[in-house]
Amino acid sequence: MSVKLAIIYYSSTGTLQAMAERLNSAAEAAGAEVRLRHVDELAPDAAIDSQPAWRAHWDAVKDEPRATADDIVWADAVLFGTPTRFGNVSSQLKQYIDSLGGEWGQGLLADKVYAGFTASQTAHGGQEATLLSLYTTVFHWGGIVVAPGYTEGLKFVDGNPYGVSHVTGANNDAPLDDAATNALDHMAQRVVQVAGRLQA
């Protein structure tokens, strides 16, 4: 049986979208069945319209499948993605997580593999704190955090053992570089491999 992987994320201007798509490709190459799901946008139109990149991204993804509780229940492994918001998870992803009380109460979120990815405008701009905040929730669920650690030499290049992170720069538009794409590929492969061992 192939590992079932849900990639559940929030992206406002497209960086997390690009990271999620890279993870999707790497996980499929590793043999996983993948569901790629953007969570609902909570911001009002006035806020979205204040940033052209935000409006363009939302218009591009608003008709794609939205994350539901079924996506996480279905999965053997979950990759959560969120931009950092003052060192914490975005309200959009947090709202999705907070809607899962029923599934948690039934034990349906436990014993799955979890890891996370994030982005910020500046280096160390809350990236590690965001991932650790995310994992606190996983601990409550009884999930199994499979962070990449320094399990491959490439992790000494991207420098984040907690997950994968990317710095978007002052204009919030720096594309993913080799360090980020290599780290994303490695994390997807590692999560699929460990989930497969648990499945066996």
Write down the pLDDT at residue 180: 96
Task: Provide the total of helices (H) and of strands (E) in the chain, helices listed first.
Answer: 9, 6
Write down the pLDDT at residue 120: 95
Write down the pLDDT at residue 63: 92
Write down the pLDDT at residue 170: 86
Q: Count of CB atoms within 10 A of residue 28's CB? A: 16
Write down the pLDDT at residue 172: 84
Tell me, what DSSP letter sits at residue 16? H
Write down the pLDDT at residue 1: 82
Q: Please list the rounded mean pLDDT of every run of 10 residues in the chain (200 residues).
A: 96 96 98 97 94 92 95 98 95 97 98 97 92 97 98 94 94 92 98 96
Write down the pLDDT at residue 107: 97
Contact between residue 134 and residue 81 where contact means Cβ atoms under 8 Å apart: no
Q: How many domains does the chain have?
A: 1
Compute the distance between CA of residue 122 and CA of residue 190 in angstroms, rounded to an integer. 27
**pTM assigned to the model:** 0.96
Contact between residue 113 and residue 194 where contact means Cβ atoms under 8 Å apart: yes
Domain range for 98 is: 4-199
Write down the pLDDT at residue 115: 98
Return the CATH number at 125.
Answer: 3.40.50.360
69 Cβ contact partners less than 8 Å away, ≥ 6 residues apart? 99, 100, 102, 103
Closest by CA to 113, choosing from 35, 36, 39, 198, is 198
Write down the pLDDT at residue 13: 92
